[in-house]
Every structure is written in C-alpha cells, then in structure tokens.
Chain A
Amino acid sequence: MTSPSEQPALTGTLIFDLGSDDSRCVEPPVLDVPPIPLDEVLGASRRSAPALPHVTEVDIARHYERLASTNFGVDSGFYPLGSCTMKYNPKINEWACRLPGFADLHPYQPASTVQGALELMWGLQEALAEVSGLPAVTLQPAAGAHGELAGLLAIRAYHTDRGDARTRVLVPDSAHGTNPATVAMCGYEAVQVPSDERGGVDLGALRRLLGTDVAAIMLTNPNTLGLFDENILAITAAAHEAGALAYCDGANLNAILGKTRPGDMGFDALHINLHKTFSTPHGGGGPGAGPVAVTDTLAPYLPGPLVARDTDGRFSLADPARSIGRMRSFLGNFGVLVRAYTYIRATGADGLTDVAEQAVLSANYLKVLLHEAWPLPYDRTCMHEFVLSGSRLRKEHGVRTLDVAKRLLDYGIHPPTVYFPLIVDEALMIEPTETESKATLDRFAAVLLRIAEEAAEDPGLLQAAPYTTPVRRLDEAAAIKQPDLAWRPSPDS
C-alpha cells in the first residue's frame, strides 16, 4: 500500500498497490430476481475471492494516465518502424467502430438484422480483391500470421485434393520470422532460399530448389530490404512450372497500392495486414486483422464463412465448398474491419495510389539523406522502406545498432526495426510511411547523422543511452533467470 505522503512512482506502482480494501469503482446491479445459492447450482464455488484490484474510478483514471505517459505511440512522435507501417491512425476510424450499430452486434444475430454489417464486410472483401488482383477474399484471420496459416493451409488442401502430397515450402533468407514458423505449423519443411547480390531472390538457387516436393514459395514483395524483386514474374512462373503455388506476405502492400498487384505478379495467395496498410491501430501489439485474398483456383478452400451478395441484393454468409474450416470463432475482427473499410472509403481510389507514391517518395528521400554516412548494403531505388547497416559504427567505434536505437529515444524518436532482416549486419530498417511531413523526415535524418557523430566523439554516450526515458535499459537476463510473470498477494495479506 502506498503511504499517504508518497506519490505513486511513474512506473512500477501496480494497480494492486492502490486503493484500500473497501475502495470501489463500479458496483454490480441490484438484484431484481430472487438470489440463488451458488454452491447449490455450481457445485464447486470459490473458497476465496480472486485477488483483483480494489480501487476507485479516480485511482484507475490516474493509474492508466500515468502508464500512458510512459508509452510511445504514433501520436507521440515519428515511428519509422520498418515492416510495421506505423502510419497515422485517423480518428474517424475509432468513431466508426464504436457506433452502437456496429459495436453492439452479436455474431449469431439473424442475417436480416445485420445487413449493414454484412454489406460493410462485403464491400471490404471487394475492395481488397481489387487492390490485390486476387478475386476471392476471407476476412476471418485475426492477424498477419493467422492469415499466413489460413493461406498455406488452403494451398495444402489444394495439393491434397489433387493427390499431390508435397512436403516443402521455400522461404527466402530475408523473410519475416512468421513465414518459416507458419510453414512448420502447416506440417511442411521450411527450406531457405538465398538472396542474390542485388537483394532479390537468387533465381538460380530457387530453380535448383524447386522440385515436385515443393508445395509453395512464400515471398514478400517488395521484400524486407524494401526492394521490389525485378525477377518477380520469372520467380512466380518458375514456381508454377514446378507445380508449386506462390504465396505473398502482404506486410509491404503499402508500397504498391494502385501501382501493381500481387495477383498481377503471379501470386496465388496473399494476406493483408489491415493494421499496417489500412491504418487500423496496432493497439500495443494487437488486435490486427489478416484477410487472405486468393485466385479462383484456391477460392473453394478458404476458411469460411464469407459474405455473399445474393441476386436480390441481400447479404448472407456462406462456407466455400472445400473449405479448410474455421480459423477462429465468429466472423473475424469486425471492429478492425470497420476501421479499414472507413479508411478505404476516406482515401478512395486515387488516394490509395497517392499513399503508395508518397510512402515510396519519403523512403527514397530519407535514404538519400542518409546513405553517405550510413552504409546501405543494397543501395538502389527502394520502395516504402530501406535497410541501413550499423556495421561501420560497430567496427570503428564499438557502437552497436542497439545503442543507436536507444540513443534515438533520447531525441524523442521511436527507433527503426533493428537486427532485421537477418541478412544485413547490424540492420536498421526504416519505414517513414506517407503520413510524415518533409520536416519530420529532415529532422530524423539530422538526428541520425548527429548520432553518427556522437558515436565517433563519445561511444560511451550511446552505449549507456537512453537517459531521458521513464526507465533506462532493462535487465532482460534477470527477467528470465528469476521469472516474475505475475503479481501475487503477499501471504500475510
């Protein structure tokens, strides 16, 4: 318990430490039916109450305000986290998903009472099909990795239906970690394909690996180096020649909206991270949504239910004929779908193309400002992001990319993605997004150039950074050695 004279610390004061035994926020309703003896109806009822917080509404409001003040979001400042597309999340999205006509719907209501919700989902399916160049869309997956699993299981079902059991999936060495993890969850062996000297898939190596045992190749294009693979048509054609299908990780879709489409590149399946490309907020780790778009060939295998528009203009739910089955309960992360739909309607056809153009322009501009001071292993026109290497700073000054990232925090900037992709030494993966101004990009470049100078002048300054954050570097080893994963009441309380 905090003593009366003590202010709760900015961090580390738990909600369990606040209030007193008789503090209350929300009281349960007064019972308007006869009470029921719980032991009789439940058999085993609780012997002791769970040790939940006992606090007032004021305690809660101030506690979470304190916690929020230690958190960095897109509204706090520049967030150039590569591969994550931390664009601004328009506020109307938040208003829309909270409308009672959306938020108060039960998933098992009769279709006649949810025509608006189904219409919205159908409209989103159609828009995602148009953007991806792939005609059939399921909105069910809850996240990108969940979409990968759905897409790969559909590919697996397709091969199984043809009596063509295949065992391996090819994944480039630059791939997101979820790709090989998904491959393993699908019961396939993940086989790594090397990148070539231009940062694309090594086409020769790919051709050598492609055989009758390969179920699919799994690719991100533009890839995690932020580079568009010039050989993409040859790559997908080679896969198809070998009887394999081509799966696209849609994490980087923001770069190509309205410019080119995965379906037109020869991909058979794609997941789309609505929480990246379509501006739905990341929520501190989720919820996201990972709709999957596929060719007509794969459409019968999608997880259901999908929304269909009947001939009379009404909307209904239906399962595809050879569906792999459900990926989850209910219909999908509808609240996220409403936000993405809102964004697409606000942005419109031309606007979406502008998004890609501005995102690519911003990234190339920033790259040019930085590439002299910071080595760029694959220095050519990039798409929406690019990857710098901190190898020179490490070699010359003993300063690691991790130190650079921590120093950026002192300048009020969220660090880029670090140490990914794995094929770049001391990687810094920078994705500015289209929603940042030129002034923000200029300041970021100036800060990163200043940090490079600091590394030369005083490496120790970076190695001990950050200094101005609510907490400083944390002991991650101790967290594993003496795991404390949950608060527990002290035995005497």
Chain B
Amino acid sequence: MLERIGVRSIDDLFAVVPEVARLARPLALPAGQSEVELAEHLLSIAARNTGAGAAVSFLGGGCYDHYIPAIVDAVLSKPAFFTAYTPYQPEVSQGTLQAIYEYQSMVCQLTGMEVSNASMYDGATAFAEAALMAARVTKRREVVVSAAVHPEWRETLATYASAGALEVRVVPASGGVSDVAALTDAVSRRTAAVLVASPTFYGTIEDIPAIASGAHTQGALLVVGGNPVLLGVMQPPGELGADIVVAEGQPLGNPMSFGGPGLGMFACRQDHVRQMPGRVVGKTTDVDGKIGFVLTFSTREQHIRREKATSNICSNHALNALAAGVYLSAVGAHGLAGIAEACIAKAHHLEAALVGTGRFERVFDAPFGYEFTLRFRGEVRAMQEHLLGRGFLAGLDLGAFDTTDAGLVCFAVTEKRTRAQLDSFVQEVAQL
C-alpha cells in the first residue's frame, strides 16, 4: 500500500504535523489486553459495585428499576440496528426509520400530543429544549419554572439559559406541589412558558388544568414533564392543556446503567413542528409506490440550517427509543396499565406501612404515583447507612439536593419490589 501511495513509511504520511506538536513518546496508557484478560478485568471492576440485584432498591428520582422483558435486549442486540448510523440513506435504513416512526406514534398515544420527535438525550435536556422552543414559538424569553421540578432538570435548564437566550424565574413549591397561585402570578405577557412536571420531584401529582389556564391566559405555553409508565394510567397531559410534553424515557425498557443512556421523550402540537428540536421521521412512498419512511422537516436542523437551526442536536438516543418501542409493544396498553397499577399499589402500601412504624411522618397531602416523600424522625444519613448494611437502598435523601428539604426522604417502588421485600424493609425500619 505504501508503494502505491508513493511513500516509504507511514511516518511520511504524518510529515505534515509540525515537529513540536508531535508526540515523541508512546501514550502513557496500559498495554492492550487480550480478550480473556480484559473480560476478567471488567468483571473485577463490575464486582466492586452493588447493583440492583444485590440490594433492594427504593431509589428513583428519574431513574427506575423496572423489569425489562427479554425480548427488548434480543431486538437491541441485532447488529443491523445498533451498528447503523443515522438514517441519512433511507433506502437502506427502513428498519431504523420505521422503528422510530412507531416509537413516535406510541409517544403521541401516551402523551396525548400530535407530534413526537425521534428522541433527545434525556428528560433534562428535553425539558431545557422545550423552554427554548417555547421562546421561539412565542417570541418571548422569560420562562417560569416550578421548584417542584427535579433539581437536575432545573439546573440543566439554567445551564442552557446561561448564554442569555432565556431568563428563568423559579417559583417555590408549596406542600410538595407547585404553588398554582404563585405560578399564575409569576406569568405575564413576557412569559414564553410555564414549566412543571407531574409527577414532581417529590412524587406528587400536579393539578395540570389549573396551571394550564394560568399559562394560557397570558399567551404562554405549558411544558409538562411526565413519567411514561404513569402515562399508562394518568390522563395524558395533552388532554389537560400541555403544549409540550417531555419525559425521561428510561423506564421504558432501558437499564438504569448508572443514569445513562436513557432518552428524552419530546412531544408537541402539529402547529409547532417547525420550531421543534431534533430529528423526526415521516411516512411517504418510494418511486414504485411502496410505503417508506424518511427523516423529514430537516430544514430545522443544524446540518442544513447551521447557526439558524432550532437546536445544535445531531446524535439523539435512537437505540434507546427503539428499546422504548419494543418495550411498549411487549407490554401493550394492558400491561403498561398493570405495571403502573402494581407500582402505585405497592408504593401506597409501603407509604402507609412506613408511616405506621412511627419513624416516618407524612408531610404532603397531594396525591402521588409510585414515588412518595416522607419526613424521617432522625438523622437521614445514619438511617440510610444502617439500612444499606441490611441490604436496602433506603430512598433518596432530598436534603442532599436542597438543604431546605433536609429530613425528607423520597421512596420509589416499582413492580419488581415484592410484598416480602416491602415487609422486611418495614420491619427493619420499625427496629431503627
């Protein structure tokens, strides 16, 4: 090959690199390992972690230990899906494209919206992009966000806003939910969007219609963050006045994987599609009249519109969206509702039992789904450490996120938690 190129050595090909910029030594990295050594190394690292299989987990806060049907990974493991690039050549990408179209359709069904994109990075970035989109739609730049929204979503929004495109006003929560009166008061003709999540960070369910009317009276859009499993039984935000619905899609067939990759679900109204960020797939026909799918409305995107694009997003989370599509196909509406009901029933059972021990007390009256917040009568970290020793990840210490929430613990209960696990956890708590 060198001869054909007309050079004597590979180094000649790098002659263009200025001498002083050349790396004159080997990279200071370990030598390569054979596969058998490498597997051993990785197993030993993985063994230094306590996974969900080794401890009974009540951790949630946007990432949930749901059961993943075996068929999901069987589909995801097909190389034709996971080794493909973005479907820019639709003639050889119908698998990816149709799977995304089906995913988009399912997201519309769950959220009650007309259009879904092909996915964003995660719930937090979908939330921030929703605020930016609302600013484009309304040509306003102030957004009002409820403090009941996940703090990491609010921080991500603040980061995206920090370059000056948005002014963010945070309205304190009250009783573990948004303070509807305060939110409404904060909205003016300058407000592009009101942003809330239901369930909230505390697990509570919001009064979306009341919040919607406060936003819409002033011409602002309403952005609602949701949980896709609960959307199997809750009235869809789209029917309650939401203009953009976002969610962390991890619960739909994606492993927790230490928090990523999940996926950002993003759905809006057809009228706003040209302001939507990210890729979207549409149905069409080929020259022979055969049904086929293509990426469409691409003139919104960075590879065409460059600095005038609706977002800089390029890579999305297509494989995670595929997982969500397979998951929703596997469980169906009946199964999703059953899973949501199981989670909700188990969460309510545990909540009552924990309060019954006298070690926890109720602090909020608002309804909740499968996550709930209680106050611990004692030192939270000591309690969690003790229970970790007994094999339990005893909920989220909300004081670690915001000192004003010190003493509050948020528990998530998925369908994977058995009655026996709940009962033995309650027993341990009673003995604290």
Closest chain B residue to A480 by CB distance?
B296
Q: Which among B4, B160, B260, B286 has the highest number of chain A CB atoms within 10 Å? A: B260
Cβ–Cβ < 8 Å partners of A488 in chain B: 105, 108
Annotate B137-173 by CB proximity to A: 1 below 8 A, 0 otherwise.
0000000000000101101101110111100000000
Q: Is A46's CB under 8 angstroms from B236's CB?
A: yes
Q: Is A131's CB under 8 angstroms from B27's CB?
A: yes
Closest 6 CB pairs of A and B: A28-B338, A330-B259, A101-B46, A348-B32, A107-B259, A116-B48
Cβ–Cβ < 8 Å partners of A103 in chain B: 51, 255-257
Residue A345 CB within 8 A of the other chain: yes
Interface residue from A148, A186, A486 paired with B116 (Cβ < 8 Å): A486
Q: Is B307's CB under 8 angstroms from A264's CB?
A: no
Cβ–Cβ < 8 Å partners of A420 in chain B: 303
Cβ–Cβ < 8 Å partners of B301 in chain A: 177
Closest chain A residue to B106 by CB distance?
A52
User: CB within 8 Å of B: which of A160-194?
Assistant: 176-178, 180-188, 190
Given A104-B255, A303-B159, A483-B296, decide whether A24 and B334 contact each other with a Cβ distance below 8 A. yes
Q: Is A106's CB under 8 angstroms from B46's CB?
A: no
Q: Is A232's CB under 8 angstroms from B258's CB?
A: no
Q: Is B302's CB under 8 angstroms from A145's CB?
A: yes
Q: Is A405's CB under 8 angstroms from B23's CB?
A: no
Cβ–Cβ < 8 Å partners of A180 in chain B: 302, 306-307
Q: Is B98's CB under 8 angstroms from A480's CB?
A: no
Q: Is B328's CB under 8 angstroms from A53's CB?
A: yes
Cβ–Cβ < 8 Å partners of A176 in chain B: 303
Residue A92 CB within 8 A of the other chain: yes
Complex-state Cα separation, A227 to B341, whole angstroms: 58
Interface residue from A36, A114, A327 paired with B156 (Cβ < 8 Å): A327
Cβ–Cβ < 8 Å partners of B125 in chain A: 142, 146, 327-328
Closest chain B residue to A146 by CB distance?
B121
Residue A7 CB within 8 A of the other chain: no
Residue B176 CB within 8 A of the other chain: no
Annotate B347-391 by CB proximity to A: 1 below 8 A, 0 otherwise.
011000000000000000001110000000000000011001000
Cβ–Cβ < 8 Å partners of B119 in chain A: 286
Q: Is B98's CB under 8 angstroms from A14's CB?
A: yes
Complex-state Cα separation, A11 to B164, whole angstroms: 46
Q: Is A190's CB under 8 angstroms from B307's CB?
A: yes
Tell me, rounded to whole Å, the shortest Cβ–Cβ distance linking A8 to chain B: 12
Cβ–Cβ < 8 Å partners of A73 in chain B: 79-84
Complex-state Cα separation, A23 to B385, whole angstroms: 46
Q: Is A352's CB under 8 angstroms from B102's CB?
A: no
Given A184-B307, A334-B259, A353-B27, decide whether A469 and B91 contact each other with a Cβ distance below 8 A. yes
Number of A-B contacts (CB under 8 A): 681
Residue A440 CB within 8 A of the other chain: no
Complex-state Cα separation, A72 to B35, whole angstroms: 27
Residue B429 CB within 8 A of the other chain: no
Annotate B52-96 by CB proximity to A: 1 below 8 A, 0 otherwise.
110101010111010101010111011111111111011111111
Closest chain A residue to B41 by CB distance?
A345
Interface residue from A12, A29, A287 paired with B315 (Cβ < 8 Å): A287
Q: Is B282's CB under 8 angstroms from A76's CB?
A: no
Residue A344 CB within 8 A of the other chain: yes
Residue B311 CB within 8 A of the other chain: yes
Residue B131 CB within 8 A of the other chain: no
Q: Is A474's CB under 8 angstroms from B90's CB?
A: yes
Q: Is A329's CB under 8 angstroms from B122's CB?
A: yes
Interface residue from A178, A259, A360, A479 paired with B282 (Cβ < 8 Å): A479
Cβ–Cβ < 8 Å partners of B31 in chain A: 348-350
Complex-state Cα separation, A230 to B15, whole angstroms: 10
Q: Is B98's CB under 8 angstroms from A50's CB?
A: no
Q: Is A348's CB under 8 angstroms from B163's CB?
A: no
Tell me, rounded to whole Å, the shortest Cβ–Cβ distance linking B166 to chain A: 10
Complex-state Cα separation, A71 to B80, whole angstroms: 6
Q: Is A86's CB under 8 angstroms from B105's CB?
A: no
Annotate A251-285 by CB proximity to B: 1 below 8 A, 0 otherwise.
00000111111001100000000010000011111
